[in-house]
Amino acid sequence: MPQRPAMMGEQAQVYTLEQMFRAAIAGQKAVAVWRLPLSDKVQACVQLGQQYTTGQPQLETSPFGFFFCPFQVSNQEQNIFIKGDIYLDGDTLAPAADAPQQQLQEFYTSLQEPPGINGWHTSTKPEDYTYQTEQGFITAVEKAVEAIQAEQMEKVVLSRNSLESLPEGFSPVAAFEDMAAAYPRAFVSLVSVPGVGTWMGASPEILVSINEQQVFHTMALAGTQTAVENVADAIWRQKEIEEQAMVERYILSCFKKLRLREYTEVGPKTIVAGNLMHLRTDFKVNLKDVHFPTLGTDMLELLHPTSAVCGLPKEPALAFILAHEGYNRSYYSGYLGPVNSTTGSHLYVNLRCMQLQQQQAILYAGAGITEASDPQKEWQETQHKMQTMGKVLDVIR
């Protein structure tokens, strides 16, 4: 069985999230903070060692910790695993049974020190950031529509980034708390790794989840429009309905590859995510009834990158993205989340996110392009999606 964090005993102590995060940054430790959808509980973990990169995640055999994985693994962006040597559950801080003792004592000592200035880890990789202009994005969408009309692919997801200034006195922990309050239905996260950088986000999309009742869950989430006051009044165009149906079919094709027939399917239904609405279909498998011990890992390998962030078929869509998107997605549209925690394993697609630099933040957003796409409307969709993080930057503590 995977080792779970030690939550009982004399070593459990009360500290704030701010203390834990600052101690991790000061000690050059990797730290992940998260809050699951519709939960009030904030959780966090810190790794005391310095080896973060890992291979393809194996959910069932992994120790407790937090995965942070890119859109595409490369020499620059690798899969990251933050082992939970220290675990924060609400306001209780406890070490794992196998946490290295000397480093553990040093970390506890740093927790007692007076707070310094707000800080976070930034990327040390030599990156030449490029940013997609409105015209550049519209041109890429036009080319994508032409390629779809020529039957080179059915759908492709094109994204872009934007540079925004951080407000004076910006605090990642305060921003995380603001996100958690503003987006109760989202998976809210703050991840900071030495040399890799710091990312924050509020994602609406489960990639692979297995809860403490051993229920596997994934979803087809696609189609976007501005939220209306009453969800029952939502009217979906054929373009969004077809886009969401493509994601559904892709998940069903993954089940078929695994010869899995025992699943429940609910949807599509309209859900609200911040200032936007999407169409969502939920797929669940009760692993107590279905003997499939590696379903989480197997589906993770098949799903990522999903048609909701890449396209269909996957190979030509990915080739189009790399040829026409015009920048490196890095960890945007990858996936992240805790594994083998007290609440199970929950990996989410890294959407509605931003990367923190010293004085600026890079915001990311994408849109699903089909034959019926209007380039100007797709640009507006990315603008609306960026507001999720933009509103966080507007809050000055």
Determine if residue 188 is left, alpha or beta; phi over 0 gives left, psi from -120 to 50 gives alpha, anything else beta.
beta
Residue 163 pLDDT grade (very low, low, confident, very high; cuts 50, 70, 90):
very high
pLDDT bucket at 130, cuts 50 / 70 / 90: confident
The average pLDDT across 49-53 equals: 94
**pLDDT of residue 10 exceeding 50:** no
Kindly indicate the confidence band of residue 5, based on its pLDDT and cuts at 50, 70 and 90: very low
- Neighbouring-strand partners of residue 66: 82, 338
Residue 15 CA to chain centroid, in angstroms? 26
The rounded percent of the chain whose pLDDT value lies above 90 is: 82
Q: Where are the alpha helices (DSSP H) in the chain?
A: 17-26, 101-112, 134-149, 172-182, 238-257, 295-303, 314-324, 375-394
Sequence-separated (6 or more) residues with CB below 8 Å from residue 122: 197, 198, 356, 357, 358
Residue 2 has a pLDDT of 45
3-state secondary structure of 119: coil
- Whole-number Å distance between alpha carbons of 240 and 122: 37
Going by pLDDT thresholds of 50, 70 and 90, the confidence category of residue 395 is low
Domains with residue ranges and CATH for the chain: 13-112 (no CATH), 134-394 (3.60.120.10)
Average of per-residue pLDDT values in the chain: 92
pLDDT band at 127 (very low <50, low <70, confident <90, very high): low
φ, ψ of residue 90 in degrees (nearest 5): 75, -110
Residue 12 CA neighbour count, 13 Å, CB half:
10
The pLDDT tens digits of the residues spanning 189-216 come to: 999 999 999 999 999 999 999 999 999 9
pLDDT tens, residue by residue, 270-301: 999 888 899 999 999 999 999 999 999 999 99
* Other beta carbons less than 10 A from residue 286's beta carbon: 13
Of the pLDDT bands very low, low, confident and very high (cuts 50, 70, 90), residue 397 is very low
Contacts of 70 (CB under 8 A, 6+ apart): 77, 78, 79, 329, 330, 331, 334
Q: What is the pLDDT of residue 305?
A: 96
pLDDT band for 9, please (50, 70, 90 cuts).
very low
Average confidence (pLDDT) over 51-70: 96
What CA–CA distance (Å, rounded) separates 170 from 15? Answer: 21
pLDDT digits (tens, 9 = 90+) for 70-88: 999 998 899 999 999 999 9
Q: Dihedral of the CA atoms 211, 217, 222, 225 (nearest 10)?
A: -40
Tokens 């930034």 locate to 122
pLDDT for 91 equals 80
Helix (H, G, I), strand (E, B) or coil at 73: coil
pLDDT at 8: 37
- If residue 163 lies in a helix (H) or strand (E), which one and from where to where? strand 155-165
Each residue's pLDDT tens digit, 169-179: 899 999 999 99
Higher pLDDT, 263 or 16: 263
